[in-house]
Amino acid sequence: MSHYDSIIIGAGHNGLVAAAYLAKQGKKVLVLERRAIVGGSVVTESFGDDFKADSIYAGGTLRPDIIKDLKLASHGLTVDTVRKPFISLQADGNHLTLDAESIKRISEKDAARFPEFVRFMDKAASILDTAYATIMPRLPLNFNIREGYGLLELGLELKLAGRKDMLNFIRALPMTAQELLDEYFESDVVKAAIASVGIHGFTLGPMGAGTGYTLIHNWMNRGGLANVNVGKAGEITQALANAVKSFGGEIRTEAEVKSIKVESQIAKGVILANGEEILANQILSSADPKHTLLKLVGAQDLPPEFVWHTQSIKMRGSVAKIHLQTNGNHGIPEGTVVLAPSIKYLERAYDAAKYGEISEKPYLEVTTSGNVVSIHFQSAPYALKKSSWQVEGSKVEKLAIDTLAEYFPNLKSSIVNRKLITPLDLEQTYGLTEGDLNHGQLMLDQFLFMRPIPGWSNHKTPIDNLYLCGSGVHGGGGVSGAAGRNAAKILK
């Protein structure tokens, strides 16, 4: 049997970040990926001739320190420096670009307040980024001085932010996106467009507590309102894969891990679906906590209370993706385009998901890359109450196209090919339990030292030598690589 210092389960971006850092430390590293390609949710795939799209995430970027530490520029990673526009669709066809100059036609007051809002959001994102770089101790258990240094650094960052920004940041976290935006803007059109970023990828409405936090979270990952590096998601993970190999790490695709080998509460290695056993001193899983702990390990090897908490992790995916190959005459402008006409519209789109129904008037976020149009559809709940995704998939595809065609009449005639990804596909193809893009909802009871579950926020598990490094742990959610970086840090 082969033996490694570290095995990483899953070649998503966090798994690859962790692998690259560990390989850079000189450890013998093996990454095991179930699919034939690396990337997980951060991947660009071909769905036909001249039909390539960012399957799940529309582009994205890693934290700057990760790009620098792993020398990713030398491994093929490029970063767009020109910020594309963020556009809110309007029924009269006079679509609104979210910048101070364009907002003037909606509200002079809102245009004047917009720069201050952007300044605060940038500051809040910086504070949150520092919090995500802080490895959370296992509060309230096993707290020690060494783990407390990170919290001291976070406290210093809050203090340096200034009293006003510090208090406003803390206030914003439990607020609804609506309440936060009410403090800056009067126009519902402006507020709804910005609020859509706060619910993007989450099964929440803008009137839900904690969407102030998710707005800051998504703003941090994007560096603002609009998506970055659209069409280049796969470039991120390919550069990471190149980095892993350059540091001496090994990556195996089409190598599904069936179970983690546990003896006397110690992780010893993994067993693949083909029966092969591979041993390692450390196992890091970038799969979601539920899948890792309940399926790859199994409840029989875990404390009963821990099992109960893990089973209680809220997943609740409600996103579908529709990719359209067109002849280029779709008429959709470049940038990030959202259908979010009002706060109530967004809340009602979420209301449908609460009752296991597909929203008839969905929140859409649309990006284009060359001749491809990609549609992010909310709300489309994983758990349908009265039907199944085998039946409803075609309905979502038609609804998305019909809704968008109301604003862009040439869209339908421009379509050459199409690809639908349902919440069930997100689970079965991309390994996202319940179709949850974030490996667990980013909610007030599932963030910071309560992520993935209270008392286990430092990447460790009750199984010695088994660690979590995916989006389901503190620092994860969206594209950043913070979770993988932090997991590697604790193994130095």
Write out pLDDT tens, residues 325-380.
999 999 999 999 999 999 999 999 999 999 999 999 999 999 999 999 999 999 99
pLDDT, one tens digit per residue, over 243-285 is 999 999 999 999 999 999 999 999 999 999 999 999 999 999 9
Whether the per-residue pLDDT at 395 is higher than 70: the answer is yes
Q: What angle do CA 178, 316, 90 make, to 5 degrees?
A: 40
Q: What angle do CA 118, 122, 128 make, to 5 degrees?
A: 140
pLDDT, one tens digit per residue, over 113-153 is 999 999 999 999 999 998 999 888 776 665 565 665 666 66
CATH 3.50.50.60 at 3-79+230-313+436-489, yes or no = yes
What pLDDT, on the 0 to 100 scale, is given for residue 236?
Answer: 97
Amino acid at 33: E
**367 forms bridges with which residues in the sheet?**
336, 374
pLDDT, one tens digit per residue, over 297-325 is 999 999 999 999 999 999 999 999 999 99
What gap in Å lies between CA 492 and CA 490, rounded to an integer?
A: 6
DSSP E strands: which ranges in 273-404?
Answer: 277-285, 320-326, 336-339, 363-369, 372-378
Q: How confident is the model at residue 83 (pLDDT cuts 50, 70, 90)?
A: confident
What value does the mean pLDDT of the chain take? 94
What pLDDT, on the 0 to 100 scale, is given for residue 140?
Answer: 60
Q: The tokens of 136 are what?
A: 């959370």
Q: 427-458 burial, b if ≥16 CB within 10 A, otherwise e?
A: beebbbbbbbbbbbbbbeebbbbbbbbebbbb
Percentage, residues of the chain above pLDDT 90: 89
Q: Residue 19 CA to chain centroid, in angstroms? A: 19
Percentages of the chain per state (helix, strand, coil), in multiples of 5: 40, 20, 40
DSSP state of 12: B
Report whether 57 contacts 42 (CB < 8 A). yes
Could you give the residue ranges of the DSSP H alpha helices within 85-223?
100-103, 108-133, 145-160, 163-172, 177-182, 188-199, 211-222
Indicate the SS3 state at residue 276: coil
- Residue with tokens 């296992």, as numbered in its chain: 138
Q: How many residues does the chain have?
A: 492
What gap in Å lies between CA 467 and CA 489, rounded to an integer?
A: 12
- Rounded average pLDDT over 219-236: 96
- Rounded average pLDDT over 222-248: 97
Torsion sign, CA atoms 228, 72, 62, 252: positive
What gap in Å lies between CA 144 and CA 148, rounded to an integer?
A: 6
Report whether 13 contacts 42 (CB < 8 A). yes
What pLDDT, on the 0 to 100 scale, is given for residue 339?
Answer: 98
Indicate the SS3 state at residue 11: coil
Q: The tokens of 405 are what?
A: 């065609």
pLDDT, one tens digit per residue, over 439-475 is 999 999 999 889 999 889 899 999 999 999 999 999 9
Indicate the SS3 state at residue 260: strand
Whether the per-residue pLDDT at 154 is higher than 90: the answer is no
Determine if the peptide bond prior to 379 is cis (ω within 30°): yes
Q: Residue 96 CA to chain centroid, in angstroms? A: 26
Q: Which residues contact 103 (CB under 8 A, 6 or more apart)?
A: 96, 110, 111, 114, 187, 190
What pLDDT, on the 0 to 100 scale, is given for residue 79?
Answer: 87
pTM: 0.95
Q: How confident is the model at residue 87 (pLDDT cuts 50, 70, 90)?
A: very high
Q: Which residues contact 383 (CB under 8 A, 6 or more apart)?
A: 316, 356, 434
What gap in Å lies between CA 62 and CA 83, rounded to an integer?
A: 16
What pLDDT, on the 0 to 100 scale, is given for residue 121?
Answer: 97
Dihedral in degrees, nearest 10, Cα atoms 381, 320, 443, 467: 110
**Does residue 24 or residue 1 have the better pLDDT?**
24
pLDDT, one tens digit per residue, over 174-210 is 999 999 999 999 999 999 999 999 999 999 999 999 9
What pLDDT, on the 0 to 100 scale, is given for residue 423?
Answer: 97
Indicate the SS3 state at residue 97: strand
What pLDDT, on the 0 to 100 scale, is given for residue 165?
Answer: 86
